[in-house]
Amino acid sequence: MKTIARKLSLLWVTLYFSVLTVVMTWPLATRMRESMVGEVGDNIYFVWMIGWLKKALFELRVDPFNVWFLNYPEGWSLAYTEITPSNLLIALPFSLFGGPMFGYNMAMLLSFVLSGVGMYLWIRKMTGRADASLVAGTVFAFLPYHIAHFLIGHLNLSAIQWFPFYFMGFFEILEMRKWAWRPALVGGIALGLIALTSQYYLYITVLMSGFLVVLYLLWLGRERFKDLVFWKNLIGMELISLPLVAAGVAPFVTLARQGGLPDRGISVARLYSASPTDFLLPSTDHFLFGSWVGRNFNRDLWIEATLYIGLFAGVLAVIAYLKRKELPQRDTLRLMFWGALLSIILAMGTDLHWNGASVEIALPEFLASRLGRAEAPIPLPGYFLFLYFPFYAKMRALMRFGVVALVFTSAAAGIGSAWVLDKISKKWQALAALGLLVLVVFDFYPGPYRQFAEVEPRAVDLWLAEQPDQGVVIQMPFVLAEDQEQTYYTLFHGKPYVGGFFNAFPPPQYSRVRPVLEHFPDEQSVALMRELGVTYVLVQADRYDDLDVVRQEIERLGLVLEVELDGQLVYLLDGVEAE
């Protein structure tokens, strides 16, 4: 009977998070098949990826990671960007009957539901209180960090749902005094799913877990260093995770061996360093305070910099930490505190920033003359990690380290909620829990979304799809070649394309041809097109101020205008001789 009651309880909890997800993302639920929240950006790339996975597996029956028709003829590996297989597999069944847009939206919405349920289960296991667990789940599921990446279309970074499952298993293993397969299984599978979600998240999770294990052994559990059971549990979790982790990192390891994943420049990482204010400011998307925050603070990098812990969640977390000596989760709270602190420090990147700007201090005269500058930034640990720690320099947005602080704050808020509710008379506990839920939702609510994006195939894409050949397509001006929409259009015309979404790590061919093709129309660019096997040259008319001159030059070079469709001029390159 207890098992049945527990399952029914989980059913109601899942329903609660499902309804609240619809409310927090309204009115997306009414337009799932045709629209995405926000502007066109990375979201359309993930929609393409879902559509391509469906096509590769069920129509072409080919390896979906090897995208031969992008960056043609060299081809392109999906490992140049984050592949997020776990999210693609969640989206795939929905895309089979609703299309890739529907699959994308469902995967996004499920990330909220699963995040809430995962945190609920973790805190319920620690505190035994369903009401406090519901508060923690609500905090974690609808963090402004989560909503910001949902709004911009980061399907990979929106999938924070595996963190509670992983840390539930991880912290239980630290406390276990005997072999237990269940926490190792839960933690291991969750770590594998994190690896199949985002390489950023995998690296961050492994690094933070290593820090917590060392801290635990040096501070709280020194006697466990020689405890074989401790190492058996920990290694067991790692072995369970290994197949999924290996599957997640394999494409990137292969690409790195080929030189396709170079280190980032430290100037880029410095730009994506968080400020302490980022953890304290409500989201610019908040229905009441958002506009004020945007007007009075630097939110140029609002997507990555939205790390708001939450006023009420923060208060509850502080209560939990202050009352830790009264709680059975005392050691867990201590580790969470230090883990969250390290997470915040690493998210602050290479040097101290405040309100989005680097903080610089005046140098003594002898240093100023030696360095040739009067001021210098204040370096943080991330600076030295970026220079010397393995793989650290592969990351661009160091702000993302802050996600661990958000996980631990949400969990601590649940523990703090349990402490507060225990102090209240039983007849008022339900009302008090409801009040906490209302406060959390108020703190995070973005308001109804008014901006939606629809990306339909262009007339030229439908025309290309009707052409019987497999002629190669190129889009001009070439600056458009790596727009996400151009990649998305390949789902409709089905032709090889000299381009793709290459903002992270441009492949060698693209880096080589871009300087030449940017000067189209001229002899060199046309000669290179012929070398690449191009058949169809699409010219977007509204991107040229001197279109008549451009058309004359194109015709002089021997290209033949085949058709003009909604502002796209289609020229045939067949028969053009390279000069």
Range of lowest pLDDT (25-29, 75-79, 390-394):
75-79
Q: How far apart are CA 271 and CA 266, in angstroms?
A: 9
3-class DSSP assignment, residue 452: strand
- Assess whether pLDDT exceeds 80 at residue 387: yes
- Assess whether pLDDT exceeds 50 at residue 578: no
Q: What is the pLDDT of residues 6-27, one digit of tens each?
A: 666 889 999 999 999 999 999 9
Range of lowest pLDDT (31-45, 132-146, 353-367):
353-367
pLDDT at 485: 92
Residue 97: what residue type?
F
- Residue 476 is inside which H or E element, if any? strand 472-476
- Helix (H), strand (E), coil (C) string for 520-579: CCCHHHHHHHHHHCEEEEEEEHHHCCCHHHHHHHHHHCCCEEEEEECCEEEEECCCCCCC
pLDDT at 504: 66
- Assess whether pLDDT exceeds 60 at residue 428: yes
3-class DSSP assignment, residue 272: coil
- The β-bridge relationship of strands 36-37 and 568-572 is unpaired
Q: Is residue 577 very low, low, confident or very high in pLDDT (cuts 50, 70, 90)?
A: very low
Q: What is the pLDDT of residues 191-222, one digit of tens each?
A: 999 999 999 999 999 999 999 999 999 999 88
Q: How far apart are CA 147 and CA 169, in angstroms?
A: 26
pLDDT at 4: 61
Q: How far apart are CA 463 and CA 485, in angstroms?
A: 17
Q: What is the pLDDT of residues 478-508, one digit of tens each?
A: 999 888 899 999 999 999 999 888 766 788 8
Provide mean pLDDT across the span 129-135: 96
Q: How far apart are CA 529 and CA 525, in angstroms?
A: 6
Provide mean pLDDT across the span 129-133: 96
Provide mean pLDDT across the span 336-365: 93
* Nearest alpha carbon to residue 209 among 227, 194, 228: 194
- Assess whether pLDDT exceeds 60 at residue 1: no
Question: 262 preceded by cis ω (within 30°)?
Answer: no
Q: What is the pLDDT of residues 303-324, one digit of tens each?
A: 999 999 999 999 999 999 999 9
Q: Is residue 96 very low, low, confident or very high in pLDDT (cuts 50, 70, 90)?
A: very high
193-216: burial string, b at 16+ Cβ within 10 Å, e else: bbbbbbbbbbbbbbbbbebbbebb
- Assess whether pLDDT exceeds 90 at residue 522: yes
350, 353, 357, 363: CA torsion to nearest 10: -80
Q: How far apart are CA 108 and CA 343, in angstroms?
A: 25
Q: Is residue 369 very low, low, confident or very high in pLDDT (cuts 50, 70, 90)?
A: confident
Q: Is residue 64 very low, low, confident or very high in pLDDT (cuts 50, 70, 90)?
A: confident
The answer for residues whose C-beta is within 8 angstroms of residue 314's C-beta and 6 or more apart is 409, 413
- Assess whether pLDDT exceeds 70 at residue 397: yes
3-class DSSP assignment, residue 424: coil
pLDDT at 488: 94
Q: How many CB atoms lie within 10 A of CB 482?
A: 19
Q: What is the pLDDT of residues 523-558, one digit of tens each?
A: 999 999 999 999 999 999 999 999 999 999 999 999
pLDDT at 576: 42
**From residue 488, how far is each of 52, 281, 456, 461, 462 by CA, in Å?**
9, 35, 9, 10, 13
Provide the phi-psi class of 154: left if phi over 0, else alpha when psi is between -120 and 50, else beta: beta
- Residue 472 is inside which H or E element, if any? strand 472-476
User: What's the residue count for the chain?
Assistant: 579
The answer for residues whose C-beta is within 8 angstroms of residue 344's C-beta and 6 or more apart is 274, 276, 279, 401, 402, 405
Range of lowest pLDDT (147-156, 232-241, 248-257, 285-294):
248-257
